[in-house]
């Protein structure tokens, strides 16, 4: 996709934007996982399923990324490098999210920050770090990235309706 036009809605993604999104998200997952492992390792299995498989295996492979014109039309991606995301996506989807897809999407994104809290309560520094990273990631998504996203069927999309018309 070299030489593809830049996305007029999102203006592409800069390296600092990609690093911000990935660092805060990965740090949240690592801190949550460490907190669970320190307290009761048997409970890490559900978190691995939710976080470490839910994002690349479900959200990236089947929900958002297959519908993302940033990736398919403009050769850009919030993930760095975009080729990693392309390796996960089997085929492009153009239809909106179904009810089951929306439910799965919400479950993953609500459980990622909620699930580890119980195990993090006994470790103040990990709890503060986890909550800080979760706040940074969710604020960045909802207040910045989701306003520039062209995956219009995504439940978190906050792009203005005017962009939808002009981008079509």
Let me know if residue 71 belongs to a domain: yes
CA–CA gap between residue 45 and residue 3 (Å, rounded): 43
Let me know if residue 147 belongs to a domain: yes
Whole domain around residue 83: which residue ranges?
A: 15-167
Let me know if residue 105 belongs to a domain: yes
Let me know if residue 4 belongs to a domain: no
Structure confidence by residue, pLDDT tens digits, 81-116: 788 888 888 788 888 888 999 999 899 989 999 999
Total domains in the chain come to 1
For the chain, helix (H) and strand (E) counts, in that order, are 8, 0
Specify whether the CB–CB gap between 112 and 29 falls below 8 A. Answer: yes
CA–CA gap between residue 21 and residue 58 (Å, rounded): 18
Dihedral of the CA atoms 88, 16, 153, 130 (nearest 10)?
80
Let me know if residue 148 belongs to a domain: yes
Let me know if residue 53 belongs to a domain: yes
Is the pLDDT at 24 greater than 60? The verdict is yes
The Cβ of residue 43 has, within 10 Å, a number of other Cβ atoms equal to 14
Structure confidence by residue, pLDDT tens digits, 145-168: 887 777 888 877 777 554 544 444
Let me know if residue 43 belongs to a domain: yes
- Non-local (6+) Cβ contacts of 142 within 8 A are 156, 158
Let me know if residue 6 belongs to a domain: no
In this structure, is the dihedral angle defined by the CA atoms of residues 25, 150, 91 and 84, taken in order, positive or negative?
Answer: negative
Is the pLDDT at 16 greater than 70? The verdict is yes
């Amino acid at each position: 996709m070299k030489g593809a036009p830049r996305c007029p809605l999102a203006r592409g993604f800069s390296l600092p934007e990609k690093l911000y999104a990935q660092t805060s998200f990965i740090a949240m997952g690592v801190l949550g996982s460490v907190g669970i492992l320190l307290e009761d390792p048997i409970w890490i299995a559900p978190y691995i399923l939710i976080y470490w498989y839910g994002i690349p295996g479900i959200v990236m492979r089947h929900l958002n990324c297959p519908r993302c014109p940033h990736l398919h039309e403009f050769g850009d991606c919030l993930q760095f490098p975009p080729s990693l995301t392309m390796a996960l996506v089997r085929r492009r989807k153009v239809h909106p999210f179904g009810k089951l897809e929306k439910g799965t999407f919400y479950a993953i994104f609500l459980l990622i920050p909620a699930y580890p809290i119980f195990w993090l309560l006994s470790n103040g520094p990990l709890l503060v770090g986890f909550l800080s990273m979760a706040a940074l990631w969710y604020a960045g998504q909802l207040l910045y990235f989701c306003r520039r996203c062209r995956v219009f069927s995504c439940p978190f999309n906050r792009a203005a309706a005017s962009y939808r018309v002009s981008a079509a």
